[in-house]
């Protein structure tokens, strides 16, 4: 067998690592529901995403995914140790967990005593490695649950937020009833808000330093929105559910995804009627609905919903509405003008087709519904014009129509009152 030189060995290992990261964990999944390492397949008790999550437009939760930071010099050894079959070794798991706890507590003490000293960051990274090993050595256990949480905490406090979020996601996916659930969701909420702020600051920046463990390599705002979406789905009645929904809707609005933003604001209004975000949800949804309306040639649903929202704001929030009185009055005028325009254009459509009776009814409707708009005065002349014409346009090519047989009403199989025919 040919012996590889040390230099060539390093290149082989590096090539294998890059191929693993590029292919993602799905490349290790077989057709039998398990991956080649024998790990569990889809399901709430596994680490792969559920089928319902795979259809999620914001992306599935996949806490087994490997990322570039796993190949950092201080972590690549642990990464390769945790790849492969999970051979249960309870003693080794407990030893690794205890070692991780010692490093974790030591790091926090150093941080509290001297916040300027960065030594604690290395200790936290070492602690995270120990927690990873502990969870790998004893899966589906109390040690595994604790190790996942403290792995996330270690990564979180050493500013490795991508890996921290992955550990929290693994904890939530496998131990949805964990005592650490609320803490993990709070951390993820903080990470998502941090990434949204970073994305706002870096908007327009052409190049960003690669390899930053505190942020995703690409799609930082999109990943933040995905986390917020998962938070509200993982715990729809939790204390962060309405906050996550509001933050998600605002993020959609900032990204000019007005339809998604409007739907998220509507979900907040309907699902959390006692939320302190109710007024802002109404107001911002109104703005988004108006941005979703593209004119009279398109559907009227955004405009109709905007009209309903404006009425609800005035009725439910009279004090707050006073502060926005000028804006709301302006939007009310715009909405009525656009609705009148739609009705008037429908009347023009019927008039151009020669359906004068239908056009007359539509024009009268415009005059009655929207008397305070310019279209109300414009319809008077139109009503007089169409009332003088025939109600329906003349039939074209009447001779061709006469060639076809006239349809007759279908005769009943049993004559009315023929009870004898039914009883036979």
- The per-residue pLDDT for range 114-131, each reduced to its tens digit, is 888 889 999 999 999 999
- % residues pLDDT > 70 (the chain): 78
Cβ neighbors of 221 (< 8 A, separation 6 or more) are 195, 196, 199, 251, 255
- % residues pLDDT > 90 (the chain): 53
Q: Which of 185-199, 237-251, 364-378 has the lowest mean pLDDT?
A: 364-378
Is pLDDT of 256 > 90? Answer: yes
Residues 11-28: what's their mean pLDDT? 42
pLDDT digits (tens, 9 = 90+) for 372-395: 888 888 888 888 777 766 777 766
Q: Which of 188-192, 194-198, 214-218, 288-292 has the lowest mean pLDDT?
A: 214-218
Q: What angle do CA 22, 23, 24 make, to 5 degrees?
A: 95
Residue 211's pLDDT is what? 78
Cβ neighbors of 224 (< 8 A, separation 6 or more) are 191, 192, 193, 195, 196, 199, 251
Is pLDDT of 15 > 60? Answer: no
Burial class (CB in 10 A: 0-12, 13-18, 19+), 24: middle
pLDDT digits (tens, 9 = 90+) for 338-348: 999 999 999 88
Indicate the pLDDT class of residue 1, thresholds 50, 70 and 90: very low
Is pLDDT of 322 > 60? Answer: yes
Residues 56-72: what's their mean pLDDT? 71
**Residue in this structure with the two tokens 């890059």, named with its chain if needed:** 18
Residue 13's pLDDT is what? 44
- Is the pLDDT higher at 141 or at 23? 141
Q: Are 277 and 242 in contact (CB under 8 A)?
A: yes
Q: How far apart are CA 394 and CA 384, in angstroms?
A: 20
Q: Which of 186-195, 232-241, 277-286, 366-375 has the lowest mean pLDDT?
A: 366-375
- Among 420, 57, 118, 28, smallest CA distance to 260 is for 57
Q: How far apart are CA 17 and CA 10, in angstroms?
A: 11
Q: How far apart are CA 181 and CA 136, in angstroms?
A: 20
Q: Are 96 and 134 in contact (CB under 8 A)?
A: yes
Q: How far apart are CA 307 and CA 336, in angstroms?
A: 8
**Residue in this structure with the two tokens 């937020």, named with its chain if needed:** 161
Is pLDDT of 44 > 60? Answer: no
Residue 414's pLDDT is what? 62
Q: What is the DSSP letter of 25?
A: G
SS3 of 204, please? coil
Indicate the pLDDT class of residue 85, thresholds 50, 70 and 90: low
Mean pLDDT of the chain: 82
Helix, strand, coil percentages in the chain from 3-state DSSP, rounded to 5? 65, 0, 35
Q: How far apart are CA 47 and CA 29, in angstroms?
A: 12
Is pLDDT of 295 > 50? Answer: yes
- DSSP calls for 210-246: TT-TTS-SS-HHHHHHHHHHHHHHH-TTSTTHHHHHH
- Is the pLDDT higher at 379 or at 329? 329
Q: Are 150 and 185 in contact (CB under 8 A)?
A: no
Residue 418's pLDDT is what? 56
Residue 424's pLDDT is what? 52
Residue 12's pLDDT is what? 40
- Is the pLDDT higher at 352 or at 228? 228
Is pLDDT of 207 > 70? Answer: no
Alpha-carbon separation of residue 201 from 165, 232, 254, 294, 301 (angstroms): 21, 26, 13, 31, 35
- Among 299, 367, 289, smallest CA distance to 335 is for 289
- DSSP calls for 77-112: HHHHHTSS-----HHHHHHHHHHHHHHHHHHHHHHH
- Among 129, 111, 113, smallest CA distance to 121 is for 111
Is pLDDT of 43 > 70? Answer: no
**Residue in this structure with the two tokens 């609705």, named with its chain if needed:** 339
Residues 221-234: what's their mean pLDDT? 94
Residues 189-195: what's their mean pLDDT? 97
Q: Which of 51-60, 102-111, 213-222, 397-406 has the lowest mean pLDDT?
A: 51-60
**Residue in this structure with the two tokens 């067998």, named with its chain if needed:** 1
Q: Are 110 and 119 in contact (CB under 8 A)?
A: yes
Indicate the pLDDT class of residue 41, thresholds 50, 70 and 90: very low
Residue 151's pLDDT is what? 97
Residue 7's pLDDT is what? 41
Residue 53's pLDDT is what? 54
Residue 380's pLDDT is what? 80
Within 10 angstroms of residue 249's Cβ, the number of other Cβ atoms is 28
Residues 333-337: what's their mean pLDDT? 93
Cβ neighbors of 313 (< 8 A, separation 6 or more) are 279, 282, 283, 286, 320, 321, 328
Residues 20-43: what's their mean pLDDT? 38
Please provide residue 66's backbone torsions phi and psi, each rounded to the nearest 5 degrees.
-100, 140
Q: What angle do CA 242, 246, 251 make, to 5 degrees?
A: 145
């Amino acid at each position: 067998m040919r012996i590889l030189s040390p230099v060539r060995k390093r290149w082989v290992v590096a090539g294998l690592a890059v191929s693993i990261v590029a292919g993602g964990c799905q490349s290790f999944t077989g057709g039998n529901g398990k991956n080649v390492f024998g790990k569990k397949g889809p399901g709430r008790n596994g680490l792969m995403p559920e089928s319902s999550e795979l259809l999620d437009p914001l992306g599935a939760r996949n806490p087994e995914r490997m990322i570039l930071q796993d190949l950092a010099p201080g972590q690549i050894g642990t990464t390769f140790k945790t790849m492969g079959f999970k051979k249960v070794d309870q003693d080794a798991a407990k030893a690794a967990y205890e070692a991780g706890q010692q490093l974790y507590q030591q790091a926090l003490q150093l941080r509290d005593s001297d916040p300027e000293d960065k030594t604690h960051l290395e200790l936290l990274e070492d602690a995270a490695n120990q927690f990873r090993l502990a969870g790998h050595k004893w899966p589906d256990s109390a040690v595994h649950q604790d190790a996942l949480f403290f792995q996330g905490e270690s990564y979180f406090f050493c500013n490795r937020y991508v890996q921290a979020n992955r550990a929290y996601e693994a904890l939530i996916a496998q131990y949805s009833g964990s005592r650490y659930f609320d803490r993990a969701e709070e951390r993820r909420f903080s990470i998502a808000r941090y990434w949204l702020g970073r994305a706002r600051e870096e908007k327009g920046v052409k190049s960003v330093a690669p390899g930053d463990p505190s942020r995703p390599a690409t799609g930082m705002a999109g990943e933040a929105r995905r986390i917020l979406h998962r938070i509200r789905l993982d715990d729809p009645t939790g204390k962060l559910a309405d906050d996550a929904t509001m933050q998600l809707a605002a993020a959609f609005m900032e990204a000019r995804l007005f339809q998604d933003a409007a739907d998220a604001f509507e979900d907040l209004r309907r699902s959390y009627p006692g939320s302190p975000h109710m007024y802002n949800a109404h107001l911002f949804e109104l703005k988004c609905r108006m941005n979703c309306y593209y004119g009279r040639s398109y559907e009227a649903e955004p405009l109709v919903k905007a009209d309903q929202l404006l009425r609800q704001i005035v009725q439910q929030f009279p004090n707050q509405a006073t502060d926005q009185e000028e804006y709301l009055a302006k939007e009310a005028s715009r909405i009525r003008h656009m609705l009148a325009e739609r009705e008037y254009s429908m009347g023009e459509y019927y008039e151009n087709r020669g359906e004068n009776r239908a056009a007359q009814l539509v024009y009268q409707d415009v005059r009655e519904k929207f008397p305070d708009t310019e279209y109300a005065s414009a319809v008077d002349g139109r009503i007089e014009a169409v009332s003088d014409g025939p109600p329906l346009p003349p039939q074209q090519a009447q001779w061709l129509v006469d060639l076809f047989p006239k349809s007759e009403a279908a005769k009943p199989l049993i004559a009315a009152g023929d009870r004898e025919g039914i009883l036979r």
